[in-house]
Amino acid sequence: MTIRVTELRSDVVDALKATMPSKGAPTSLVETMMRKDMDKDTPPSQDLGRFSTTTVDDAMMRIMPDAALKNIACVEEYPSVRKFQERCVSIIADLWNSPTSDPFGTATTGSSEAVMLGGLAMKSKWQRDNRENPEQRPNVIIGENAHLCVKKFADYFDVEARFIPVSERTNYSMSPEAVRRRIDGGTIGVFLTLGTTYTGHYDPIEQVSNMLDEYERDTGIDVPIHIDAASGGFVAPFTSSNESFVWDFRLPRVKSINASGHKYGQALLAVGWIVWREKKWIPEGLLLESSYLRGTQTAYTLSFSKSSAPIVSQYYQFYQKGLAGYRRLINRYLDIAKLLSLELENTGYFVCLSGSTGRSICREGNHNMNPGIPLVVFTLSEGAKKDYPTLDMSALSDAVHEMKFSIPHYTIKGWGNGGSDAQVMRIVVREDLTLELMQKMMDVIVECVKKLTRE
């Protein structure tokens, strides 16, 4: 029996909202109450600014409840999930051209935890190699285009963050010369991004790596690279540009790479991955053996107990889709991103500045894609700014939100033309952004612009 919310006593409703009720409530009542709140949320498929997976197929849905009850920390009791995790690491290492048949990596709760582990390994290794100079404060090179979690690593683990400015002039990515000017003997490593959160661009990884090779030849100082491939790690390997855009373990200087399984890896929230070039890149003191509960395991993670469900969903996706399935999917996303960019630019209101779909490509009718993730980041065109001086992206984002579409807006400070701030909106192309939904969303955007610019 389903209880209608209007039939509930108000004190019961309030108790459920505010504090834990002294007595439990009937299952159907709790379910009805919670559904009522949850139904007011934006449908995840229309939450167009997020990266995380919002669709699952029926078979995955059937496996998930079993997996959710298994704690990944219990190695003896649940050997299947441990095996799935190890196989995922090995599949991912292969996708990233690992030089070894016995790669070392781990599942994390997302790219944020993975970035912490990558940074911490670089810091510990630097400390181990610089024992004679314990007073020196370590520093790390971070682009202004890096995700907040990279900056968090520096703050949480007491490493000086040396920021590299980015702008339209540097193609929204780090310039190797700017990195060169900031490195020294205290540099634990360089974080580079494969698919930035804000514009989707790839940092020029091979060029930075070459510059660091040169730096080592000149100074004898060996500076490692960690790649934050939160999004690009499950995009680049499936595209034709992966041959020419060398970013992964093919570059000897790349020592560790992370990615979010719950982004383009198509797994359920929340799982990330980190893989090291070789196990020796993790200083021994960080690899802890635990023999708690049954069985022992050597792990390098920040968390202990975790649901197995996201890891199981990752394994399911790898086997269900295979290389061909991922290739098909990712290339479809990139096509849709390009089409969407053209549609947005054709309105005359917007220009796109995202990595794979930027305006020069759209304008020049060039059908090749720049390497980048299927992200559409757009701003007001010069014409729109002139014709509608009061139109702004935050009002547009709010108006679109009222129509039950979430397209977030944000300001990228100093990244615009001549160092100006750029107000942008972002659409992440995912499985549920079908051509029909895209058309519906375009109609909503245009209708909202018209409403906002009506005198």
C-beta of 112 vs 256, nearer to ligand PLP = 112
**Does the protein bind ligand PLP through residue 111 (CB under 6 A)?**
yes
Sort residue 187 into left (φ over 0), alpha (ψ -120 to 50) or beta.
beta
C-beta of 111 vs 341, nearer to ligand PLP = 111
Angle at 433 between CA 427 and CA 435, to 5 degrees: 115
Closest distance of CB 156 from ligand PLP, Å: 14
Among 46, 85, 173, 197, binds ligand PLP (CB under 6 A): 197
DSSP tally for the chain: helices H, then strands E: 13, 13
User: Where does this chain touch ligand PLP (CB under 6 A) — which range of 190-198, 247-255, 283-291, 324-332?
Assistant: 190-198
Using CB under 6 A as the binding rule, the residues of this chain from 148 to 167 that contact ligand PLP are 149
Size of the site for ligand PLP (CB under 6 A): 14
C-beta of 50 vs 250, nearer to ligand PLP = 50
Among 53, 167, 256, 260, binds ligand PLP (CB under 6 A): 260
Angle at 57 between CA 51 and CA 62, to 5 degrees: 120
**Does the protein bind ligand PLP through residue 272 (CB under 6 A)?**
yes
Tokens encoding 331: 């290339």
User: Where does this chain touch ligand PLP (CB under 6 A) — which range of 105-113, 344-352, 364-372, 409-417?
Assistant: 105-113
**Does the protein bind ligand PLP through residue 228 (CB under 6 A)?**
yes
C-beta of 171 vs 193, nearer to ligand PLP = 193
Nearest to 425 by CA among 352, 336, 349, 363: 352
Q: How far apart are CA 317 and CA 60, in angstroms?
A: 9
C-beta of 53 vs 111, nearer to ligand PLP = 111
Closest distance of CB 426 from ligand PLP, Å: 10
Closest distance of CB 373 from ligand PLP, Å: 9
Judge whether 302 and 113 are in contact, CB under 8 Å.
yes
Q: How far apart are CA 329 and CA 164, in angstroms?
A: 34
How far lies 288's CA from each of 121, 255, 300, in Å? 13, 20, 6
145 three-class SS: coil
Closest distance of CB 147 from ligand PLP, Å: 3
User: Where does this chain touch ligand PLP (CB under 6 A) — which range of 25-33, 228-236, 334-342, 363-371?
Assistant: 228-236
Using CB under 6 A as the binding rule, the residues of this chain from 290 to 349 that contact ligand PLP are none
- The residue number with the shortest CB distance to ligand PLP is 110
- Interaction mask 51-90, ligand PLP, x per CB under 6 A: x---------------------------------------
**Does the protein bind ligand PLP through residue 408 (CB under 6 A)?**
no
Closest distance of CB 268 from ligand PLP, Å: 12
Nearest to 103 by CA among 305, 257, 311: 257
Buried b (16+ CB within 10 A) or exposed e, 161-170: bbbbebbbeb
**Does the protein bind ligand PLP through residue 110 (CB under 6 A)?**
yes
Q: How far apart are CA 188 and CA 408, in angstroms?
A: 35
Give, rounded to a whole angstrom, the gap between the first and last alpha carbons of the chain.
52
C-beta of 29 vs 116, nearer to ligand PLP = 116
Judge whether 221 and 186 are in contact, CB under 8 Å.
no
Closest distance of CB 84 from ligand PLP, Å: 19
Sort residue 365 into left (φ over 0), alpha (ψ -120 to 50) or beta.
left
**Does the protein bind ligand PLP through residue 199 (CB under 6 A)?**
no
User: Where does this chain touch ligand PLP (CB under 6 A) — which range of 110-118, 355-363, 401-409, 419-427?
Assistant: 110-118
Q: How far apart are CA 305 and CA 275, in angstroms?
A: 20
Q: Is the peptide bond before 337 cis (omega within 30 degrees of 0)?
A: no
Q: How far apart are CA 277 and CA 248, in angstroms?
A: 10
Closest distance of CB 238 from ligand PLP, Å: 18
Binding site residues, ligand PLP, CB under 6 A: 51, 110-112, 147, 149, 193, 196-197, 228, 230-231, 260, 272
